[in-house]
Amino acid sequence: MGDSKFKEMWERVASLLTLSQEELAEVAEELRKDKPSADRYILIRILGKGGGISYRQMVEGFLNSPGDPMLAQSALWTLCIYWGLTGQYLPQVQDFVQGVSWDSEEDVRISAITIAGEYLRAKPNPTLLRQLMTIFENPEERQIVREVAYRALGRAIGRAHTELPGGSRSLDWAKDIDPTILQAAKRRFSEETSE
């Protein structure tokens, strides 16, 4: 992780403790450096969990990080999950759900799919919902991507995390998939597009 000071800050925010404005400024200053003493994606996450929303523009600047997709993934997660700004970044979320050429390991895509499911719990968006259904139903997609899309669909239709198979193992398509999730998602899509 680098500098022990930033490691300690990460441990504090991971334990849901806040940082002072001075500490957040120090993290932001480190993030601006050409060669920071801690991983940039950890610094972004510290700002995110530490309440550094005043650094939103700086974090937003990492969304387009072709040389390091993990930076984009950290920025997207911070903006959408930690700060609850998904509605303001829907074009980027939709692009990442679709997939971008420089995200070869699909790390950003997987995070965007998860973010989409969480957003759809409270907000209608037929385009995003259709994207998730298309990914889940496409056997050409990697299994892990389809699994994340399945969980996101479950979240979108109101299922609790405990009602969905955990992400720590591969799904058994015959046993773990509840067909009522896709049926409910399709019903919702039909209702949202007919309004």
Which tens digits make up the pLDDT trace of 67-117? Answer: 999 999 999 999 999 999 999 999 999 999 999 999 999 999 999 999 999
For the whole model, what pTM was predicted? Answer: 0.92
pLDDT at 177: 92
Does pLDDT of 12 surpass 90? no
Query: What is the structure's pLDDT at 195?
Result: 66
Residues 146-174 have pLDDT tens digits of 999 999 999 999 999 999 988 778 888 88
Contacts of 63 (CB under 8 A, 6+ apart): 72, 75, 76, 79, 89, 92
Conformation bin of residue 167: beta by default, left when phi > 0, alpha when psi is -120 to 50: alpha
